[in-house]
Amino acid sequence: MLRWILFFLLTIPAINLRAEDGYRVWLRFEKISDEPLLKNYRDAISCLQINPVSATLKAAREELTSALQTLLDKKITATTAIADKCIIAGTPASSGTIKQLLAAHNYQLGQDGYTIQAITLNGKRLTVIAAYTDIGVLYGSFAFLRLLQTHQPIAALSIISVPKIQYRILDHWDNLNRSVERGYAGISIWNWHQLPDYIDKRYIDYARYNASIGINGSVLTNVNANSLVLTKEYLIKVKALADVFRIYGIKVYLTAKFSAPIEIGGLETADPLDTTVQNWWKKKCDEIYTLIPDFGGLLIKANSEGQPGPQTYGRTHAEGANMFADALAPHNGIVMWRAFVYDARVQKKEEKFEEGKQGEHSETIASGDRFKKAYNEFKSLDGKFRGNVLVQVKNGPIDFQPREPFSPLFGAMPQTPLMMEFQLTQEYLGQGTHLVYEAPLFKEVLDADTYAEGKGSIVAKVIDGSLDHHSITGIAGVANIGNDIDWTGHPFGQANWYAFGRLAWDYTLSSGDIATEWIRQTFTNNKFFVESTKKIMMASREAAVDYMTPLGLHHIMGTSHHYGPAPWIDNAGRADWNPVYYHRADADGLGFNRTITGSNALAQYQPQAQQQWSDSNTCDEKFLLWFHHVSWAHTMKNGKLFWDELCTKYQQGVDSARWMQQQWNTSKPFIDEEQFNQVNMLLTIQRKEAEWWKNACLLYFQTFSKMPFPPNVEKPAKTLEYYKQLKFIYAPGIGGNL
């Protein structure tokens, strides 16, 4: 009997022995299931030639050898001689064949680019992965494996790929106590207590996964910075991570607290024009680079939400940034200076916006519209920053909302390199439980036209430097990574990490193509599953906008934790912490007037950009309430009354959330049971919360419109008071406090 039990255990499929937990993200490298395709690949690949003269080339060889063996279910022989059907990977310095190939062609690959070519040399059919640098070879190796994982033809490859943006960085909002601000996937993966002596395998895999999508930088610490990370004790720990990441082309960066000279340096001031302060930062940077010669630089949040900064001493953002730039310049380091700025001090009581009133109080606040803050503080500083400073600008003017118009700073500072900041962690998009594929959001912003140099001056051309001829370029994504087994908490959160990396490398890729790549690598190449899941992903962002903030509504989430709807809140410490400040509902209508008759924030855009939003009758209705206070009886482009359209949009969002779960149910036969069940449970939460959003918001706004729900909209089963009294003491960011 025992013999038969052992036989059974050894012969059942591996998938039943090891559930798919998501740890391997999109680098699963399972055996190719399409038998004819598998045969073609096996026939085309017989051996691998790569000279591991560096740790990075060794990593490339290990990735190729291991992945090919499992993908093809075939041992791949490493060889030093050129053989038929061989993969040859390397640089001119590591391979004579590569040197010959690159000398014969004028490939413009730069530092990170690569080429993959199917060639015939001396009668031998070869696949060549070539680059001028070792990291380029690693990027090319991952790209080749992506082709195999997604079942692409490889017989006639002729690929040249060069990143469009230089610095492609993840910003971790991780604290030294391992909590993560706006993190929804567990605690921080950086275990500072165990570093530097214990190197968790997760650090290596983190670097691998990032390198596979071209990310080349990691800011390890929260923008709400802690000066302790700049002490010798912590810098030694940072060095341990840098030593791991270096192999995979990833530089480490840190956040710097402006007051560090006082807190850990014993100085009495942090004035950026004080020579003792300047010298302290120079010595601190010298210390960092002695430990970490390829340290990337510093990310700084200053004079915002209580963080100290140069304005504390009557200095400008440029003067503050330039102090750091001068300290970093001898080491080729960069400064990323965030443009998300607003004073967190509580405003005077008489300035508080009063719900439902559009009188003097409203005008006082409108003149100080937070929408305008970054532009007002930074526009006049254009051209005053050092050459190694990038001003890091959020994609929109407020704060990572489900939909925002692009920040007016893009296209307004031609003499200053601007760095995009996206948020991968879903602070305002359902947090860790909603499936929201963010690539359409990223693309919407990147493809938006600033008209700064005429039509076609899209945001992407601002940040890639081509519009204003900048040689230093960057893009950042606020990481959604934690220590959950699948890294992002929600399996589909990985898609946002993946999409950010792919678009940071090449922003011309489509959201749909990126989704297809990710699905095929993460789940299966089954055609039905790929198409079905892609439909869910491509619909998910618009669904979230509809059931949360349709037609340009924004920042109506619960305060502090930003979880769930709370458009009624009007008692926060200052006006622009209250949802009522942003939606301005009253008996006349809904929305924030940012035209010339309101806050005039619209004037911060180029005239052609203004035109698309200036008239409520012609405004792109996706942004209507961003720029207009709209009458409840306003006629929409489809002929409906505004109130009816608002209700319909909320209902459409709910219907979409329900459809997403129904669509997912059809995928059950094609993937691992654990994967299916995890997503299905999360979709149940999303569906329920979509209904909550719709009911709570419409009941509240109905108190102003005094209009009935249209027939196509489901009537809420609960009362407005029920939704108002809900408490969420365990919501992320609350910490169990009422």
Q: Is 438 annotated as catalytic?
A: no
- Give the integer Cα–Cα distance in Å for 484 and 431: 15
The structure tokens listed for 165 are 């943006």
Name the one residue in this structure whose structure tokens are 């108190």. Answer: 703
Q: Is 305 annotated as catalytic?
A: yes
Complete DSSP assignment for 190-221: --TTTTTT---HHHHHHHHHHHHTT--EEE-S
Yes or no: say if 337 and 390 are a contact pair by the CB < 8 Å rule: yes
Please state whether beta strands 114-121 and 124-130 pair in parallel, antiparallel, or not at all (unpaired).
antiparallel
Angle between helices 232-246 and 275-291 (to 10 degrees): 50
Q: Is 449 helix (H, G, I), strand (E, B) or coil?
A: strand
> Cα separations (Å) of 230 from 225, 290, 311, 665?
10, 13, 22, 50
The three-state DSSP-derived secondary structure of 17-78 is HCCCCCCCCCCCCCCCCCHHHHHHHHHHCCEEECCCCCHHHHHHHHHHHHHHHHHHCCCCEE
- Give the integer Cα–Cα distance in Å for 478 and 236: 24
Please state whether beta strands 86-90 and 47-49 pair in parallel, antiparallel, or not at all (unpaired).
parallel
- Residue 565 is classified by DSSP as B
Nearest CA-CA partner of 543 in 670, 340, 333, 694: 694
- Give the integer Cα–Cα distance in Å for 501 and 496: 9
Residue type, 514: I
Residue type, 45: I
Nearest CA-CA partner of 336 in 291, 377, 269, 385: 385
Q: Is 427 annotated as catalytic?
A: yes
DSSP H or E stretch at residue 4: helix 2-11
Nearest CA-CA partner of 301 in 368, 247, 264, 254: 254
Catalytic residue among 171, 369, 427, 576: 427
CA 107, distance to chain mean position in Å, is 31
- Give the integer Cα–Cα distance in Å for 290 and 330: 12
Catalytic residue among 200, 354, 382, 399: 399
Catalytic residue among 73, 84, 305, 673: 305
Yes or no: say if 630 and 590 are a contact pair by the CB < 8 Å rule: yes
DSSP H or E stretch at residue 441: helix 439-446
> Cα separations (Å) of 677 from 19, 482, 538, 557, 661?
12, 21, 21, 29, 11
Complete DSSP assignment for 245-304: HHTTT-EEEEE--TTHHHHTT--S---TT-HHHHHHHHHHHHHHHHH-TT--EEEE--SS
Nearest CA-CA partner of 257 in 294, 299, 287: 299
Please state whether beta strands 389-394 and 418-423 pair in parallel, antiparallel, or not at all (unpaired).
parallel
Contacts for 226 with CB less than 8 Å, ≥ 6 apart: 175, 176, 257
- Give the integer Cα–Cα distance in Å for 421 and 402: 15
Sign of CA dihedral 584, 590, 592, 596: negative
Residues known to be catalytic: 305, 399, 427
